[in-house]
Amino acid sequence: MRIALGSDHAGFAEKEKLKSLFSDLGIEYFDLGTTSEESVDYPDYAKKVAEQVAHGNVDQGVLVCGSGTGMAISANKVPGVRAAVAWSEETAKLARQHNDANVLAIGARTTPEGDIPKIVKAWFGTAFEGGRHAKRVAKIEALEDDVKSQ
């Protein structure tokens, strides 16, 4: 498993803490920034991670910002990306099982610090169920094509 990892200033400290967890889980990660707690614009880092996922250079992405929402919104602008904000183990599992989400967004300011490793483990320990959900994911992908053709 290869992932792209990114954060803004609000998520920097949590991103750094996640690196040892990824190593423990045998997940190869590519840190695309940011490199400090100095203020930056989260869409820049969401785009870097999302493009790596969309181009198939990595299997999945992980983004960390204050709430997770800004990163997810930004990443979802890149065709082929299905970014989900997860604030619990259950939301992480459901995003993978039902939506085949390929980018995890976490809120460093809105998620208890001790829950973040549990969320990450749930995410990477859960596979897409396919079945009835595959049709729905295909409809999500078709939305991208519809928008492009208009």
- Residue 9 is among the residues annotated as catalytic for this protein: no
Environment class of 131 (CB within 10 Å of its CB; exposed 0-12, middle 13-18, buried 19+): exposed
Give the whole-number percent of the chain exceeding pLDDT 70: 100
Sign of the torsion formed by the C-alpha atoms of 143, 135, 50 and 85 = positive
Characterise 58 by phi-psi region: left (phi > 0), alpha (psi -120 to 50), beta (else).
beta
In a 13 Å sphere around the CA of 15, the CA atoms on its Cβ side amount to 29
Q: For the residues 96-112, what does the mean pLDDT come to?
A: 98
Cα angle 147-148-150, degrees, rounded to a multiple of 5? 65
Better pLDDT: 106 or 150 = 106
- For the chain, what are the domain ranges? 2-149
pLDDT at position 71 is 98
Q: Is the pLDDT score of 78 beyond 80?
A: yes
Give the whole-number percent of the chain exceeding pLDDT 90: 94
Please, are residues 74 and 46 in contact by the beta-carbon 8 Å criterion? yes
The residue annotated as part of the active site, out of 9, 55, 98, 133, is 98
For residue 147, what pLDDT band results from cuts at 50, 70 and 90?
Answer: confident
pLDDT digits (tens, 9 = 90+) for 8-26: 999 999 999 999 999 999 9
Q: Please state, in angstroms and rounded to a whole number, the distance separating the CA atoms of residues 108 and 124.
A: 18
For residue 119, give the nearest of 52, 62, 72 by alpha carbon: 62
pLDDT digits (tens, 9 = 90+) for 43-75: 999 999 999 999 999 999 999 999 999 999 999
Please, are residues 101 and 84 in contact by the beta-carbon 8 Å criterion? yes
Residue with tokens 């919104």: 73
- Residue 65 is among the residues annotated as catalytic for this protein: yes
What is the phi/psi pair of residue 65, to 5°?
A: -140, -165
SS3 107: strand
Q: Is the pLDDT score of 149 beyond 90?
A: no
pTM of the model: 0.97
Q: What is the DSSP letter of 114?
A: T
CATH T-level assignment (fold) for domain 2-149: Ribose 5-phosphate Isomerase B; Chain: A, (3.40.1400)
pLDDT at position 145 is 80
